[in-house]
Structure 1
């Protein structure tokens, strides 16, 4: 079978794996997905790009499902943490595979072509969006430490959130050092969004931290955004 047919099969089997409810259906779909994956490898297909495209597609679905057509962080974190009835965590698996791909000798250009860098910038921007609950009161590091060990029924626990944020930042920095990283951001508002995150951190967030209105963790995330911006511009030259 040709490359296009195998790619279609891979995407279809992945969607079946993701949407199946029974463990038996999950197992069957997973086996078919792995089989298609292996056949693609034998044909030297860009499997890495297929994986990142699947990642981007899932995040776009979350955006479309929102009334504001923007990313809702609780839903994003839930996607990266939720375990389905079959005992699988598709979102977590996708994030782990993408992180593995950017850490190896994979051609980063194919990953950038999938639009994943833009996607990750929107995720980071959503993670940095002001939390209304924290706007109403001052946050101290001691309070954060107390909250770190508690999981809400409705929300993903702080420990898992830190893991997701760490993976997102790691992937972004690995992609940012590619010479085409900046070029991959010009098709939408991603580059402007990245600059806005840095500007917000410089002008607003750091001053609010001194007043005790922003957590140290938020400051650290803004610093990561600055580092991603610097890497993107530095390696462009």
Structure 2
């Protein structure tokens, strides 16, 4: 009888807990969108440099097309990531999937930043780049759908449009940050240094952003 009372008391406490703040939910979800689109945009902004790094055997036009094709490969995986993490969020909770996707994006971004070049690993280098981009697309698909769903579930019914705007705002911030970072690195070093090692910097700089977002998301509740 005492055990049953304790169970009932625990259940009551759980259901009576304070709901997640829509401000906190929207800001933290928007942070993830900013990181996601920083990661996506930085590749496109550095495509001409990456073409020289990973496809040096081709002429400049073919190399650029190959680099852009790798960029496009990520979008193939986005729907699959959305389906997988959407289902996972239904079963395990939204905060669980938001943490999982940001960890995945961070790991892959770090790997891209330390990938061997074509001169170092031959054809294996672009193969690894394609694999990383597809993994990024998979996690990004889960991030986009998960963040939007989490905001809509936490926001008041009469303010879902307002709080939902934090997600596309994060997208714009991420793209703008990527453009600024690519421009700053290109300005500070020579084109030769950019091809040799400078292209790695914007990808590796993503890791602290990921760490901050992960710290914030670990504090989210379903």
> Which structure carries more helix by proportion?
2
If asked which structure has higher relative contact order (CA below 8 Å, sep 6+), I would say 2
TM-score, normalised via structure 1 length: 0.29
